[in-house]
């Protein structure tokens, strides 16, 4: 065994690099206190503020971000994308060549597979998302399928691996971030090699210069900083594919791979917030509750709102989506006549019959937890203290 540094990490022969003074990812944590490791991840990776649900297309700076390792520094002039493996024709394209290919723009909702993890008890140690790890953007790029057709895969089965430029250690294994899709899945017309987001070149944190977009799948499949596409002709056994991102109930459970997004609805919290607790306050009267709902399994067909902690439900109105792969807006009129505390909930149903559960969906990795959102609201009557804004005060000017 070789010791590195001051005893906080070690290299164990062929076993890998391990940090010894920090809890490993996946450790079950009881209680609500955030750990230093979770805080470190939380300040690097940001969620979408719930009030941004007002936008059909999320502004770039408000879209959620998850970066596993470091954001790589990429020279666009030196970058190229290589297509290889079990193909008849190996290809290499620079950025200008990729942009010169036929392009399309699709609005797609992305959600992290771990969205909701921090609400579990006990929670698996990892990125501590509440419910806001989501966003919808208009992605512009060239379809993957024609590029694969030009390369001519030698096998009709097996996986296609997408390799990113980001590199790090997870599970004691040094690795590039890599994910795969079955060959058949790669032939979907809507899968893109994207180089623009909301009409702008990809920002560094969103995968500049090129990333994969796989509509309907959780965010782990949308490989950023793409450098290589490799046709294997067999199943990919990389860490992010074969070990991570599985729905499992125990350590000895092989689990089921995470793929498509389960249905979820979110609400723009009504009223105004208390600074620390984020409990909402609003006056007695009629209020329109609004939000968005989405699913990667099938189109959203129904959104329901509960005003009594989930005991009863009423159907909301749905608007059309901006694309088949983007969320739908919903609204509900609430006549808030009873002062006091309320717990509002919202749930979505898709065309495949999937309905959001009211209870937490606990699992060992904290993935696919799409239980309903709960918003604490206090309805208040007039009479409480209000600080008058300075620009609304009747101040006499000096003469």
Per residue in 47-68, pLDDT (tens digit) is 999 999 999 999 999 999 999 9
Residue where a domain terminates, one of 244, 274, 293: 244
Residues 210, 100 share a domain: yes
399 part of a folded domain: no
Residue 369 has pLDDT above 50, yes or no: yes
Question: Does 225 lie in the same domain as 124?
Answer: yes
Is 131 contained in some domain? yes
Share of residues in the chain with pLDDT > 70 (%): 95
Residue 198 and residue 326 in one domain = no
Which domain range does residue 92 map to?
A: 25-244
Are 197 and 311 members of one domain? no
Sign of the torsion formed by the C-alpha atoms of 180, 183, 185 and 191: positive
> Is 207 in the same domain as 116?
yes
Alpha-carbon separation of residue 88 from 91, 93, 153, 154, 384 (angstroms): 10, 16, 6, 6, 74
Q: Phi/psi of residue 185, each to 5°?
A: -65, -35
pLDDT at residue 399, as a whole number = 59
Residues 324 and 294 in one domain: yes
The CATH number covering residue 130 comes to 3.90.420.10
* Same domain membership, residue 302 and residue 218: no
- 102 and 64: one domain? yes
Same domain for 214 and 287, yes or no, is no
% of the chain beyond a pLDDT of 90: 88
Both tokens of residue 319? Answer: 């608007």
Q: Are residues 287 and 358 in the same domain?
A: yes
Residue 361 lies in a domain: yes
For residues 220 and 270, membership in a common domain is answered with no
Q: Is residue 66, in this structure, part of any structural domain at all?
A: yes
pTM of the complete model beyond 0.75: yes
Q: Which of 179, 210, 244 is the last residue of a domain?
A: 244
- Tens of pLDDT, residue by residue over 215-264, are 999 999 999 999 999 999 999 999 999 999 999 999 999 999 999 999 99
3 state DSSP class of 149: helix
**Residue 37, Cβ neighbours under 10 Å: how many?**
18
Question: Is 357 contained in some domain?
Answer: yes
Same domain, 202 and 289: no
The pLDDT, as a whole number, for residue 19 is 81
Domain-located, residue 41: yes
Q: What is the pLDDT of residue 4?
A: 35
Per-residue pLDDT, 393: 84
Domain count, the chain: 2
Residue 103 included in any domain: yes
* pLDDT tens profile 17-45: 788 778 889 999 998 889 999 999 999 99
Whether 386 is covered by a domain: the verdict is: no
pLDDT at 76 over 60: yes
CATH number of the domain enclosing 352? 2.60.40.650
Q: What is the mean pLDDT of the chain?
A: 94
Mean pLDDT of 138-159: 96
What is the distance of C-alpha 21 from the center of its chain? 29
Query: Nearest Cα to 258, choosing from 218, 223, 294, 295?
Result: 218
């Amino acid at each position: 065994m070789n010791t590195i540094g001051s005893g906080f990490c070690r290299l164990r022969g062929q076993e890998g690099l391990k940090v010894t003074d920090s809890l490993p990812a996946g450790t079950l944590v009881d209680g609500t206190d955030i750990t230093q490791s979770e805080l470190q991840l939380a300040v690097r990776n940001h969620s979408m503020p719930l009030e941004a649900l007002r936008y059909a297309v999320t502004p770039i700076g408000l879209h959620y971000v998850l970066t596993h390792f470091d954001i790589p520094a990429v020279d666009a002039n030196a970058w190229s994308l290589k297509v290889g493996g079990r193909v008849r024709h190996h290809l290499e394209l620079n950025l200008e060549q990729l942009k010169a290919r036929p392009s399309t723009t699709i609005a797609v909702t992305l959600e992290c597979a771990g969205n909701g993890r921090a609400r579990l008890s006990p929670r698996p140690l990892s990125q501590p998302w509440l419910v806001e790890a989501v966003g919808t953007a208009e992605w512009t790029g060239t379809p993957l399928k024609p590029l694969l057709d030009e390369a001519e895969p030698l096998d009709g089965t097996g996986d296609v691996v997408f390799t990113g430029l980001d590199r790090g250690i997870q599970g004691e294994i040094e690795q590039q971030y890599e994910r795969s899709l079955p060959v058949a899945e790669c032939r979907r017309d809507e899968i893109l090699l994207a180089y623009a987001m909301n009409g702008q070149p990809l920002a560094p944190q969103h995968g500049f210069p090129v990333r994969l977009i796989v509509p309907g799948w959780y965010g782990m499949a949308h490989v950023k900083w793409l450098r290589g596409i490799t046709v294997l002709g067999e199943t990919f056994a990389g860490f992010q594919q074969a070990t991570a991102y599985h729905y499992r109930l125990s350590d000895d459970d092989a689990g089921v791979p995470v793929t498509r997004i389960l249905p979820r609805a979110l609400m723009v919290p009504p009223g105004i917030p208390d600074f620390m607790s984020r409990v909402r306050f609003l006056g007695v009267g009629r209020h329109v509750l609004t939000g968005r709902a989405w699913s990667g399994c099938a189109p959203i067909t129904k959104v329901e709102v509960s005003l009594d902690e989930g005991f009863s439900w009423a159907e909301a109105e749905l608007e059309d989506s901006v694309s088949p792969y983007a969320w739908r807006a919903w609204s509900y009129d609430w006549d808030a006549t009873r002062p006091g505390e309320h717990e509002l909930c919202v749930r979505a149903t898709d065309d495949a019959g999937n309905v959001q559960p009211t209870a937490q969906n606990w699992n060992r990795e904290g993935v696919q937890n799409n239980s309903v959102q709960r918003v604490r609201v206090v309805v208040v009557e007039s009479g409480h203290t209000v600080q008058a804004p300075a620009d609304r005060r009747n101040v006499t000017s000096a003469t």
